[in-house]
Structure 1
Amino acid sequence: MPRYNAPFEIHVHGDVPLRSDVTFDQIQEALKPLWKYAGAKSLADGATSTYEEEPGIRFEQKDHTLQMCWTVPGDEDFRQALDEMCMGLNELSERGAAIEVTFYDTDFDEEEGDPEEESRDDFLMLFVGPNPAAIMQVQRDLLVEDVVNLMERHFDGAELGGVVSEIDRLFSDRFDALVNSLEIGKRPRGTGGPGSGGGHGGGRRPRHLH
């Protein structure tokens, strides 16, 4: 059922490439924790965001991509729904992908509130993928982009090869540790990729508007 006076507005944002054989029924089942949390009876019923300007939850058949730009009122218990969603999407994903989740404190007024008061905003970066190696690849690519963007303020990009190599070594070591107990395919590749990092600080995160 709809949640009134919820302490947070929770925004879920990300694109997840799905296998070509995945059906709508499978997508609906994987996302059931989200639309059920929103009080809907189906994905079609729950795919609409709280904000009309946001696309909501959509499945792009042309490139077989699940697109999410969706806001729902909720509380801390939404984190359980996110965990269940990730487990479901792992089974359907073609490649690794990142999903950003932002909890906006509905009681916090940045402009008119007490300047000494801090918001309860929180930001999560979740990862899904068909196997741990695919997930680590996305994590590696996002970290490389964040580090390079930060260090390019002080160094030329051509000088940062050693930094990227060290990041690759750290991820390779982590992968090798997992291999001791799991059969998980190839190591993360040492190639950069687009993405966006996340974390606290720098004021409230802007909403994703399309």
Structure 2
Amino acid sequence: MASYNTPFEIHVHGQVSLRGDVTFENIQDALKPLWKYAGARSLTDAAGSFYEDEPGIRFDPTDHILQMCWTVEGDDDFRQALDEMCMNLNEVALTGAAIEVTFYDTEFEDEDEEEDPEAESRDDFVMLFVGPDPAAIMQVQRDLLVQDVISLMERHFDGAELGGVVAAVDQLFSQRFNDLVSSLQLGKPPRGPGGSGGMGHGSGGRKPRHLH
């Protein structure tokens, strides 16, 4: 595609534990939205990243692990491919997993920001979650939130003082899970900067080009 049709470099980063019966063919089917978007005819053709120093997409049949550190050029329509990928990975995942996606605005340069202080990049960051069931997805969401909260609060409090904070987070997730069970459906994760399923432009500077 022409450069004006690909305003983003999109980096997909994550590791998913897979069921023991999952084969390469299953992974190829699950990731079809990604390699089709890249214009490839198979996962093998698309497994290499836009950047040669990145591992790309790798399937370890011995340890049953899918690893992704893969960049592709694209636009906002890539989000649809991500939604389809997550639905497919839910079918083969053994445990819950987080997948980080960074949209890096290739048309915005730091030099432009210095010339025009009002200029804003369209960088975006998305945290996606997959898993075999709602409980597995919520567990990884909970673990990441606890890590973030503890990391933030340890700047001001000793770790031993934060047991109540962790308990409060657990209570919130327990209530959410009970609500989901009652409604018999899994809703989309809430959106918000840095949160579970967050999709929005952040503030305070550009995010790193790649998440390694």
TM-score, normalised via structure 2 length: 0.88
> Among residues 150, 165, 168, which one is paired with 1:166 in the alignment?
168
- Name the amino acid aligned to 1:135: I
State how far apart, in whole Å, the 1-side matches of 2:26 and 2:40 are. 17
1:75 corresponds to which residue? 75
Query: Equivalent residue of 2:208, what SS?
Result: coil
Distance 1:125 1:51 in 2: 21
Q: State the one-letter code of the partner of 1:170.
A: L
Provide the residue aligned with 1:18 in structure 2.
18
Alignment of 1:1-210 (within 5 A): 2=1, 4-5=3-4, 6-113=6-113, 114-182=116-184, 200-208=202-210
Compare 106-115 and 31-40 and name the one that shifted more: 106-115
Query: RMSD over aligned Cα, in angstroms?
Result: 2.0
- Secondary structure of the structure 2 residue equivalent to 1:20: coil
Cα distance change on mapping 1:17 and 1:36 into 2, 3 Å = same
- C-alpha distance after superposition, 1:122-165 (max 9, x if no partner): 10000000001000000000000000000000000000000000
Q: Distance in 1 between matches of 2:2 and 2:53?
A: 21
Runs of 4 or more, structure 1, over 4 Å off, are 196-199
Instruction: Give unpaired runs (5+ residues) of structure 1.
Output: 185-195
Query: Relative to total residues, which structure has the larger helix share, 1 or 2?
Result: 2
| TM-score of the pair, normalised by structure 1 | 0.88
2:183 & 2:120 partners in 1: Cα distance? 43
How far off its partner does 1:116 sit?
Answer: 2.3
Percent sequence identity over matched residues? 74
Unpaired segments ≥5 residues, structure 2 = 187-195
